[in-house]
Amino acid sequence: MLDLDKLRALAKETISRDDIKYLIGWRQGTYGFRTSPHFVGNLEDAEQLIFSPLCSSNLATYLTLAEKRPVPRGAQPDTRRVAIMVKGCDSRAVVQQLVEQGIKRESVYVIGCPCEGIIDRRKLEEKVPHTLERVEARWENGKIILDLPAGRAAFPRDEIVAGKCLTCRYPNPVIADVTVGEDVEVRGSAGFEDINWLEVKNAQERWAFWRDKVNSCIRCYSCRNVCPMCYCAECILDKLNPAWIQRSVNVSENTAFQLARAFHLAGRCIECGECERVCPVEIPLSHLNRKLVKEVSEQFAFTPGIDPEAKPLLAGYRPNDREAFIL
């Protein structure tokens, strides 16, 4: 179990450094099982920091959203580093942003937080509905312990964690300047058994499945906005001249949007599952992303977000690449 006192002491030490602008972490939310991103700029703010099975947000999204204010004449730009707390999947986002030069290594200070699995709030609310008071959670001996208003409750980890955590091969941060706590056991496999049930369907059955799902899409763009790898200054799907997709909400345009986004993430998706977590109509976007992760892995032997020195998938070339799949 993570020692919060040590975490907060480390945070205070970090933000006291002259080369650190602020620290991004998590804090308790306003009610129930919620947690919120927390920007720590002073010692008092550090006292609210937490890290628990409820800390679902991938904070790496904020690294590419840093405000760049005009520098007054005669002044120097603020080049101090942003400190950020990362789980294993979050750290892969940081690495992939570095690979793509979306951020610079000297601009970020990474605090690694080994993770034993993040709670799927929807699963938990089915077991403990109508919980409005703040809840604290922690990992303990393969279980997740909750301090509920009615008392202490323990759930087997695999019953309430997000699906991404059941397949995660990188629960320990792949990049960190400092790590909080000890490394945890890797439980996910390198296989893709979680999408086998969809792959065995024929084309008509797969389309029937996805047609039903994308038909419910309301095009709120939450999946795109939360994704740490969707950091273009202007999304091409927002352009009006030419218009790549129409603004109308229907199966055709929704499918075009979801497929375009998925293929834009091919070789870039770090499997953090944020798109699926925030989807208000619960589209299982991880199935689509995992299928592309599998194809990239099998066809190109490439896994994004694990090597800061790697080249982006589409920027690399190997003379011995198999080309049997190219028409």
Q: Is 245 exposed, middle or buried (0-12, 13-18, 19+ CB in 10 A)?
A: middle
The residues spanned by each domain of the chain are: 4-315
Convert the pLDDT of each residue in 44-103 to its tens digit: 999 999 999 999 999 999 999 876 677 788 888 888 999 999 999 999 999 999 999 999
From CA 251, how far away is CA 218, in angstroms rounded?
A: 10
Convert the pLDDT of each residue in 218-259 to its tens digit: 999 999 999 999 999 888 888 888 888 888 899 999 999 999
What is the full DSSP assignment across 8-56? HHHHHHHHTSTTEEEEEEEEE-SSTT-EEEEEE-SHHHHTTEE-STT--
Q: Which residue has the tokens 């792949």?
A: 174
pTM score above 0.85: yes
